[in-house]
Amino acid sequence: MRDGSAQDVLPCLPVMLRLRGQRCVVVGGGAVAARRAASLVACGAQVVVVAPAMDPKLDELLIERAERGYEAGDLDGAFLVVIATDNPAVNQRVADEAAEAGVLINRADNAGAGDLTVMAHDRRGPLTLAVDTGQTSAAAAKAIRAELLEALDDDWITLLTEARPWRAKIQSSVPDDSERARRLRQLADDTAMQTLKHQGVSALRARLQAVAEGRADD
């Protein structure tokens, strides 16, 4: 595991992690733990929260609760552990056991000492905007995210929302690689955007259907 020091300057790989059906353990029951648990539940994870006291917001979530301190074996079968207690000794113990078991680690107390960090992010329909500052400033990441959201053209959300179901249809029905790639590009190209802006959603839907059926010009 990394030590989380300033010397650890290797870049991280930005990824979207699929968690549907994965067992994810949150150790800690405070506000940070509650936020992380909510994010995991939203991604379809099977979430277990281990803590002797739990934030009331956890009552709103579909989770498994273990209202006690962390014990050996709590990580059995886990894919990911979120370590979010206010006890450094407990945090390190969980981290050590997770590393030994090959469980991915997210640490609220020392992000650089884990395997992954949670970026400042916002979801708008199928679009996710995420910002990371290399552990320099969480406040700056949130501010930059807010600036990007303010500048975002809402027509992108409409276009992506309308195009999304057609993508699956194209992928399953067009066997030729080059033709499939051409149609996928057309789903959100400049022509599609200009159709939306100047002719509206109904015209966009007609354009997307034509793209999916191979009737649209480049």
- Which of these, 94, 42, 87, lies nearest to 71 by C-alpha position? 94
Q: Taking residues 26-38, what's their average pLDDT?
A: 97
Contact 127, 170 (CB under 8 A): no
Single pTM value for the model: 0.84
Structural tokens at position 150: 């303010």
How high is the mean pLDDT of the chain? 94
Which of 218 and 200 is assigned the larger pLDDT? 200
Write out the DSSP string of 99-144: HHHT-EEEESS-GGGSS----EEEEETTEEEEE--TTS-HHHHHHH
Q: What is the average pLDDT across 180-185?
A: 98
Give the percent of the chain with pLDDT over 90: 90
Distances in Å between the Cα of 177 and the Cα atoms of 160, 164, 168, 183 are: 22, 19, 14, 10
**pLDDT tens-digit profile of 77-89?**
999 999 999 999 9
Q: Tell me which residue of 72, 17, 15, 82 sits closest to 48, measured CA to CA.
A: 82
Question: At a CB cut-off of 8 Å and minimum separation 6, what does 13 contact?
Answer: none
Q: Where do the domains of the chain lie?
A: 1-7+16-118, 119-152, 154-212
> Would you place residue 6 in the very low, low, confident or very high pLDDT band (cuts 50, 70, 90)?
very low
- In the CATH hierarchy, which fold is given to the domain comprising 1-7+16-118? Rossmann fold (3.40.50)
Write out pLDDT tens, residues 42-73. Answer: 999 999 999 999 999 999 999 999 999 999 99
* Mean pLDDT on 150-169: 97
| pLDDT of res. 172 | 96
